[in-house]
Amino acid sequence: MYGSSPRRWRGPAIAVAALGIVGGGLGIAAAGTNETSAATSTIVCPDVAGELPAVPQRAQAEVERNLALLDTQLGEANARLARSANEGGPNFVQNAILGPLAGKRAATIDRIAIAIGRVADRPTGLDGLAQCALSDDAGQPTEQETTPPADEQTTAPPADEQTEPPAAAAGAISCPTVADRLPEIPTQAQAEVARNLALLDNQIAEAERRLATSANEGGPNFVQNAILGPLEDKRVATINRIATAIGRHAAKPVGLDSLAPCALSD
């Protein structure tokens, strides 16, 4: 059903179609009147269906649902882009739209791989399809396409992110612990679980660095939309990988998704 094919970017035609459905009649003409370049662009994402192997019949319904969800997520992101002209600073689109979209897509793509893996070989290498980018009117992705997701960035933060946080950014991000909620971990899964538990810590640290450098950015919902929301999406995908690793060798733990949301604490 889904043959292997070269990776391709969804063109503006698909993105605009999705925008028309999700945006409640929000028109491209209206978006074109905004002054920022983001408002005259659309979001393009790598095609997922074309990268999948043959999908077993028993997995097709779940895969179809999640492929449709990817389209819905893209449509919602384009609708957000269309009404966000002149919001936030120069990194607003990346932090408040593209970042959260990548997190949602990563979780959805992971569910697709899991669905196939229940009845056949689980496809690998799909994580790289989560990242989307802005394109110009000609449908060409901008340079943002080359920026890896936060989960994949292993280099030290820039020097300006290592400075003392401003007073307005006082506080810390508090997340539920995951390790103490896990059942006994089979020996074969321990290495993978440990890697993902470490990744959860890295995600919190990255979010707190972002918080420390974001004083006075955006509106009243900036922290939720640009920091806590993307962090939750990343944690959902990582926690799901932990549960899947355990489930390959023992009963898969359930109810861990409730540990994904974090909050701002004093």
Predicted pLDDT at 266: 67
CA distance 195 to 189: 10
CA distance 145 to 135: 9
Whether this prediction's pTM lies above 0.85 is answered by no
Which residue stretches of 127-221 are H helix? 190-212
Q: At a CB cut-off of 8 Å and minimum separation 6, what does 236 contact?
A: 103, 107, 257, 260
Question: Is the C-alpha dihedral spanning 112, 115, 118, 120 positive or negative?
Answer: negative
Q: What is the DSSP letter of 119?
A: T
Predicted pLDDT at 90: 64
3-class state of residue 73 by DSSP: helix
Q: How far are the Cα atoms of 49, 70, 215 from residue 106, in angstroms, in the given order?
A: 14, 10, 28
Predicted pLDDT at 96: 80
Radius of gyration of the chain (CA): 19
CA distance 8 to 47: 6
- Count Cα atoms within 13 angstroms, Cβ side, for 253: 23
Yes or no: say if 101 and 63 are a contact pair by the CB < 8 Å rule: no
CA distance 4 to 1: 10
Q: At a CB cut-off of 8 Å and minimum separation 6, what does 10 contact?
A: 44, 45, 46, 47, 74
pLDDT in tens, the chain (266 residues): 555 444 444 444 334 333 343 344 333 333 333 334 444 688 999 999 989 999 999 999 999 999 999 999 998 888 888 887 767 666 778 878 888 888 889 889 989 999 999 999 999 888 889 999 888 644 445 444 334 344 444 333 443 433 333 333 446 899 999 999 999 999 999 999 999 999 999 999 888 888 888 766 767 788 888 889 999 999 999 999 999 999 999 999 999 989 999 998 86
Neighbours of 160 (CB within 10 A): 7
Give the pLDDT confidence of 81-131 residue by residue, as tens digits: 888 776 766 677 887 888 888 888 988 998 999 999 999 999 988 888 999
Give the pLDDT confidence of 172-198 residue by residue, as tens digits: 899 999 999 999 999 999 999 999 999
